[in-house]
């Protein structure tokens, strides 16, 4: 982004400071290093200014400022983008993390959440009403990036993707206009926001449809890493009730108290269950999990729904070094299972993981052209990532994940989930949107002809 490389001069900074009510943090000021940091430590950038917006007015002012000054604009919600799109060198970071208000209407089962909420904020607020919607499985992930990219989680088989539960959004677009969009109002923008990522503007508030989900049967069950366990998992997903969320995890045994020490650091696979059906069927679910293979450790019990989304939090704090690849697949071909076993056994660290999200059920009942998220025929979405404590180690293991992704490719669909892609996957954007790419380009031209919102898996206008 060298064409944008410049710092704010005093008068320009003062102009921005007078129109923004939230915080304006510049290089050299107290708190700058904290303000410029994002979740993935691979991205160590130095913006000219970080605006922590207090409200939609600040978002409008910052968008107008960045556009008029011809500066790069990075929009940040939860800051979990593995590509580091929530920051940039020399430009303006619009950080929404102060905008975390949530209002729940239990009568219409709707929640309005400001653009900077995390899933921890959201789940806590809706759980008080015995309600929930599909969100991320690590609670510090932002609703903003996750929902606009699609949004997979424990409830996806039953309730669809996060974006399928979006009923309206308030958006600030590149010319500074504030637009409310729904299926009926600014419908093309609403269509694009449901899968098209941050390409179209800044969502200051999302409204979601909620579902009756309160306490669940959930938690991980670990097995030795073995192709037969994975084949039985594949059958479990094909046959089971959609109220069973069951992520597959392949990696090294974490040092958890319920896992015997001899399995710590050894290759394992695990099923992270989230059963939202009646408690009277809990024993059936336990029996299905026991039938997958020899259990080496299990932490399965009744818990409030928000808790299942915090079980990975401690293992994955901000500040680790990540590099990701993603795939979509129809079913789970034997060749993919062989790759999971071979490359899973070589997982470079306890934090590194292969996570397979089942996205059948309700996700399949949305037509492929109904939202920008294109892969309604995929059964699984896989995220592969070496996650390490130093940059050098992460770089050293990029080859592992690239070879792993290449081994999965013959058994995968052409595109993959934009939220599981890294910087060097920009060339795959067209195939990630498949049949929806041309319409996205048309809408991008209408709302952001100069590509102000380019720090994302970019749909060029």
| Shortest Cβ 250–ligand FAD spacing (Å) | 16
As measured in angstroms, the least distance from the Cβ of 119 to ligand FAD is 8
Residue with smaller CB distance to ligand FAD, 198 or 253: 198
Closer by beta carbon to ligand FAD, 24 or else 356: 356
97 C-beta neighbours (distance < 10 Å), count: 19
| Of 202 and 308, CB closest to ligand FAD | 202
Query: Minimal distance in Å, beta carbon 93 to ligand FAD?
Result: 10
> Angle at the Cα of 137 (from 456 to 153), degrees rounded to 5?
80
CA distance 75 to 93: 6
| CA dist., res. 290 & res. 53, Å (int) | 49
CB of 179 to ligand FAD, least distance (A): 13
Rank residues 153 and 251 by Cβ distance to ligand FAD and give the closer one.
Answer: 153
User: Nearest approach, Cβ of 87 to ligand FAD (angstroms)?
Assistant: 8
CB contact at 8 A, 250 and 340: yes
**Could you tell me if residue 371 is left (phi over 0), alpha (psi between -120 and 50 degrees) or otherwise beta?**
beta
Query: What three-state secondary structure class fits 47?
Result: coil
Q: Which of 242, 227, 459, 180 is nearest to 343 (CA)?
A: 227
Interhelix angle 56-68/10-19, nearest 10 degrees: 150
Residue 132, CA distances (Å) to 29, 135, 220, 388 in order: 40, 9, 21, 32
**Cβ–Cβ under 8 Å, residues 154 and 274:** yes
Cβ closest to ligand FAD, residue 190 vs residue 296: 190
What does the DSSP 8-state code read for residue 254?
P
Least separation in angstroms between CB 300 and ligand FAD: 19
The least distance separating ligand FAD from the CB of residue 261, rounded to whole angstroms, comes to 26
Smallest separation, CB 76 to ligand FAD (Å): 4
Q: Which lies closer to ligand FAD via its Cβ, residue 202 or residue 339?
A: 202
- The residues that touch ligand FAD, with contacts defined as CB under 6 A, are 39, 75-82, 85-86, 96, 115, 136-138, 141-142, 144-146, 148-149, 151-153, 197-198, 202-203, 316, 419, 455-456
Task: Choose among 287, 329, 288, 305: nearest CA to 420.
Answer: 329
Looking at the Cβ atoms of 127 and 454, the one nearer to ligand FAD is 454
CA-based nearest residue to 220, from 161, 281, 263, 157: 263
137/217 with CB nearer ligand FAD: 137
């Amino acid at each position: 982004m060298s064409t944008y490389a410049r710092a704010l001069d005093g008068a320009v900074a003062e102009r921005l400071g007078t129109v923004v009510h939230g915080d304006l943090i510049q290089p050299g000021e107290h708190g700058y290093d904290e303000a410029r940091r994002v979740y993935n430590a691979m991205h160590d950038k130095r913006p000219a200014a970080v605006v922590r917006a207090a409200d939609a007015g600040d978002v409008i002012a910052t968008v107008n400022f960045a556009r008029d000054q011809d500066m790069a604009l990075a929009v940040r919600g939860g800051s979990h983008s593995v590509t580091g799109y929530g920051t940039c060198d020399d430009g303006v970071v619009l950080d929404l993390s102060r905008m975390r208000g949530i209002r729940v209407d239990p009568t219409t089962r709707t929640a309005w959440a400001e653009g900077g909420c995390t899933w921890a904020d959201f789940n806590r607020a809706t759980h008080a009403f015995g309600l929930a919607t599909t969100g991320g499985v690590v609670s510090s992930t932002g609703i903003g990036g996750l929902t606009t990219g699609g949004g997979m989680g424990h409830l996806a088989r039953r309730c669809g993707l996060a974006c399928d539960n979006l009923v309206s959004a308030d958006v600030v677009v590149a010319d500074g206009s504030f637009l409310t969009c729904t299926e009926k109002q600014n419908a093309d923008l609403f269509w694009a926001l449901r899968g098209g990522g941050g390409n179209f503007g800044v969502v200051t508030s999302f409204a979601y449809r909620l579902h009756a989900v309160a306490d669940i049967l959930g938690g991980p069950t670990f097995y030795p890493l073995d192709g037969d366990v994975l084949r039985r998992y594949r059958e479990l997903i094909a046959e089971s009730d959609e109220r069973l969320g069951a992520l597959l995890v392949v990696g090294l045994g974490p040092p958890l108290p319920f896992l015997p020490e001899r399995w710590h650091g050894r290759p394992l696979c695990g099923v992270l269950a989230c059963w939202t059906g009646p408690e009277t069927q809990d024993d059936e679910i336990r029996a299905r999990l026991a039938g997958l293979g020899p259990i080496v450790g299990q932490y399965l019990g009744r818990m409030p729904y928000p808790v299942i989304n915090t079980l990975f939090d401690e293992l994955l704090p901000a500040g680790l070094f990540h590099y990701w690849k993603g795939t979509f697949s129809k079913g789970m071909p034997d060749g993919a299972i062989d790759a999971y076993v071979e490359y899973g056994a070589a997982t470079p660290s306890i934090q590194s993981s292969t996570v397979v999200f089942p996205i059948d059920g309700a996700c399949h009942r949305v037509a492929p052209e109904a939202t920008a998220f294109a892969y309604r025929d995929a059964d699984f979405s896989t995220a592969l990532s070496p996650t390490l404590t130093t940059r050098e180690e992460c770089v050293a293991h990029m080859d592992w994940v690239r070879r792993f992704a290449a081994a999965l490719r013959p058994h995968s669909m052409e595109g993959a989930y934009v939220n599981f892609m890294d910087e060097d996957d920009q060339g795959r954007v067209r195939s990630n949107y498949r049949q929806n790419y041309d319409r996205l380009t048309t809408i991008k031209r209408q709302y952001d002809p100069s590509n102000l919102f380019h720090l994302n898996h970019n749909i060029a206008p």
